[in-house]
Structure 1
């Protein structure tokens, strides 16, 4: 893996396999938030191994800790939002069934 820290993003638009390179952000614990260039078919069987860091390494461990904490909070909020959406859907379903039962019981449906 190359790392020159001052990569000109426009210096190469094609990766080794001839596809357009993709500008990505790393989400691994050690490289959280670091940007890199890679094959647009990354993690596919027909992808090449083109990879080049755009950002310099994060040397201060405190920065890594803060970024990891922010990511955990964002993930926690996403999980809570999904639970809330399920709860709202459940309540709407129960309310709909109750309305249907009342309408059937009074012969309105």
Structure 2
């Protein structure tokens, strides 16, 4: 699709030709961590207008390094939490199977 935008007469709001207001998002990529940009509200979805505009200047290299380190730490923590949830779920299932075995054994005896 063609990259297009229009400025609303009512305000300084940027409206995409899809008819929706553009939205401000924050990049979490390694190249542009923490850098804000405006895009079509359907950006990244099939058939979305490819309107895209940076709001902030490129981040300082030191800032990039700090933000990327924090993002890696956050992702690592999130992965640890997911693994813990899986482990707890496995223990719950094992306990349910054990209790079911005890109940079945009591019924048959």
Report the TM-score when normalising by structure 1.
Answer: 0.81
Deviation at 1:36? Answer: 1.0
Q: Is the 8 A contact 1:35 1:55 kept in 2?
A: yes
Deviation at 1:74? Answer: 0.4
Matched, 1:91 2:91: yes
Please provide the CA RMSD for this pair: 1.6
Show the counterpart of 1:3.
Answer: none
Unpaired runs of 5+ in structure 2? 1-10
Q: Is the 8 A contact 1:16 1:50 kept in 2?
A: no
In structure 2, how many angstroms separate the alpha carbons of the residues matched to 1:46 and 1:11? Answer: 25
Unpaired runs of 5+ in structure 1? 1-9
Show the counterpart of 2:41.
Answer: 40
SS of the residue 1:11 aligns to: coil
SS of the residue 2:16 aligns to: coil
Q: How many pairs align?
A: 98
Moved more, 35-44 or 66-75: 35-44
